[in-house]
Every structure is written in structure tokens, then in C-alpha cells.
Amino acid sequence: MGDAHRLSAMDNKLISAIDLATELGRRKQTVFKVIKRLQIEGQRMSTSDSRGQMVIHITEQDAEQVRAVLSRTNPIPEDEDARTDPDGYIQPQLGVFYLIQLEPAYDPGRFKVGFTTDLNDRLRKHRCSAPHAIVLSSWGCKSLWEKTVIDCVTVGCERVHTEVFRTSSIDDVVSRCESFFELMPK
């Protein structure tokens, strides 16, 4: 078989984005984002491995481009917010827990809470849908605490969306956050 034919066969071989993520030890979402950023046209197809689900497949040549991009960054563990030490213990990512008031002038009781490692970037992203959003406060936090903090500080609040709530007293929410983080290790 000639080199040209082998190259052509290699180009035609398809790999699913999910299999590529597994191979690279990356999250599927990460691989999908790189495929989109590189403007790779994938083919949606169902295989026996995908149990009838339509899965994006790309050529081996395109997969090499994805591999090249992802080889320049450190692998992200399955739990994006955690690192594992040599003994196998999960080391939580450090960042901040934030309390953002989404519409201070029009709906002062509507707020967003969550964990981030880059508060300025997170606020910038929230301002796409809530241009008047302001950070009321933030506290040093480990990623593994996020769900617990949210459960504790939103007691009695109306859940509007996943991490968006409404309260009759935003000061009470701030106070609960302060109390929670006073108890946690620094």
C-alpha cells in the first residue's frame, strides 16, 4: 500500500470525541470546546458503543490537532475542581465563594452564589445576562465546600435557578455567609 493511500485511509478513520477525551484523560466538555474553537466539522453518528446516542466523530487528522492543543496544557482530573495527591487523596482547588447581587436597583433580593478561581472573569460572564451585577462579598474557599455553603446560606430563600436565589433580606444571606466562613479553616 502506498504512502498516499495510507494517509488517505488515516484521514478517513473517525474517532469519537468521547473516546478522544478518554484517551487524553480529559473531560468530554474540554474536548468539545477545543473542537469548536478549532472549527472542526465533526460528524454526528450513532455507534454500538454509544448505545444509540448521536456522538460527534472527527477524523484522525483533526484528532491530532486536538491532541496538539491539549498537550500544551495540564490534564484536568475528572472532577475539574480537585487534584489528587500521590497517596490518592483529593486535594480541593482553592478559590473564593462569591455572593453576587444580580439586579441591585430592580430586584435587590435576587442573588447568585458559587465558587470560582477567578472572580473578575466570573463577574464579567454574569454581566452578559445581568449587566448591573455587583459582587457583595467573597470569602476564601475550597471547591469541595461549594455545595455545602450554598445549602447553608440559602436556607429560607427561593431557588430561581441552579445557583440563583431570591430573598427578602440580602443582609441575612451575607450574615449567614460570614458565620459559615468564620467556622471554616483559613
Indicate the pTM of the whole model: 0.54
Q: Find where cell 461549594 sits.
A: 146
Least confident window among 20-29, 140-149, 174-183:
20-29
Closest among 69, 89, 95, 92 to 80, alpha carbons compared: 92
Q: Is 34 exposed, middle or buried (0-12, 13-18, 19+ CB in 10 A)?
A: buried
Query: Does the 8-71 domain belong in CATH 3.40.50.300?
Result: no
Q: Find where cell 474557599 sits.
A: 141
Count of other CB atoms within 10 angstroms of residue 16: 21
Average pLDDT over residues 79-93: 50
Every domain of the chain and the residues it spans: 8-71, 93-183
Digit-coded pLDDT (tens) for 37-83? 888 988 888 776 666 778 889 999 998 988 888 877 655 444 444 44
Measured CA to CA, the distance from residue 151 to residue 133 in angstroms comes to: 22
